[in-house]
Amino acid sequence: MTETACAFGVKDAEELARTLLHPLTERWQHTAAVAVRAEQLAGTVDAADREILVAAAWLHDIGYATATHDSGFHPLDGARYLRKRGVSERLCSLVAHHSGARFVAEARGLTSELAEFPLEVSALSDALTYADQTVGPHGRPYSVEQRMAEVLDRHGPESPQAKAYSTRAPYLLSVAERVRRRFAQYSQR
Ligand SMILES: [Fe+2]
């Protein structure tokens, strides 16, 4: 892959993610596995978007790193951190909105803050979300259903994740269906 498709290339993204997340062993293992998953799904997006998909996969959870903490909502904090570093708006927005973050933002009262970043609805955003939703803690492969259950279990019944479940779960399942269909079409070529 070349590094000309986005302002912040895959190697830059991997390096930044490693620096920020390596101390968080479980999150780092998850991130590295999501990046591998994104590479596997690259055929489901336009050729021009394949590099930004993998870069976004490396960066999607950097908002968990202490150095990026701001609002306490990791998609927003990661995107704000990247924006301050001059990373492309598209990449920032993919991080901000990955995995249906808008549904959790609403439950946390952070809708207007997240709206600092435009929402992209595309095969690219779907592939990023599907990659994240099929990798669990420590980088273990999960089904989307297992991952949704794991998130609920980890955050608890009173969490914003639980409050957002009724709107976020159907969205994640619809993403999974679209990505699986694109992957099947791509594999038949
Ligand atoms: Fe993640």
Read off the DSSP letter of residue 45: S
What's the gap in Å between 31 CA and the centre of ligand 1?
6
Query: How far apart are alpha carbons 183 and 134 in whole angstroms?
Result: 14
What's the gap in Å between 60 CA and the centre of ligand 1?
6
What's the gap in Å between 36 CA and the centre of ligand 1?
12
Query: How far apart are alpha carbons 114 and 151 in whole angstroms?
Result: 21
What's the gap in Å between 121 CA and the centre of ligand 1?
18
CA dihedral 148, 154, 158, 163 (to 10 degrees): -20
Read off the DSSP letter of residue 8: S
| Span 123-145, pLDDT tens digits | 999 999 999 999 999 999 999 99
Query: How far apart are alpha carbons 22 and 130 in whole angstroms?
Result: 23
Question: Residues lining ligand 1 (ion), CB within 5 A?
Answer: 61, 132
The residue-averaged pLDDT of 18-42 equals 97
- For 116, the 3-state DSSP assignment is coil
What's the gap in Å between 179 CA and the centre of ligand 1?
17
What's the gap in Å between 103 CA and the centre of ligand 1?
16
Query: What's the pLDDT score for residue 2?
Result: 41
- 48 pLDDT tier (thresholds 50, 70, 90): very high
What's the gap in Å between 154 CA and the centre of ligand 1?
13
Q: For residues 173 and 149, is the Cβ–Cβ distance under 8 A?
A: no
What's the gap in Å between 95 CA and the centre of ligand 1?
10
pLDDT at 4 over 80: no
What's the gap in Å between 59 CA and the centre of ligand 1?
9
Residue 115 CB partners (closer than 8 Å, separation 6+) = none
The residue-averaged pLDDT of 48-68 equals 97
Q: For residues 96 and 75, is the Cβ–Cβ distance under 8 A?
A: yes
- The tokens of 25 are what? 């062993």
What's the gap in Å between 142 CA and the centre of ligand 1?
12
Query: What's the pLDDT score for residue 189?
Result: 81
CA dihedral 177, 5, 111, 19 (to 10 degrees): 100
| Span 96-108, pLDDT tens digits | 999 999 999 999 9
Closest C-alpha among 73, 48, 77 to residue 155: 73
What's the gap in Å between 47 CA and the centre of ligand 1?
23
Residue 180 CB partners (closer than 8 Å, separation 6+) = none
Query: What's the pLDDT score for residue 7?
Result: 65
Q: For residues 54 and 42, is the Cβ–Cβ distance under 8 A?
A: yes
The mean of the pLDDT values for the chain is 95
What's the gap in Å between 176 CA and the centre of ligand 1?
15
Which domains does the chain carry? Answer: 10-184 (1.10.3210)
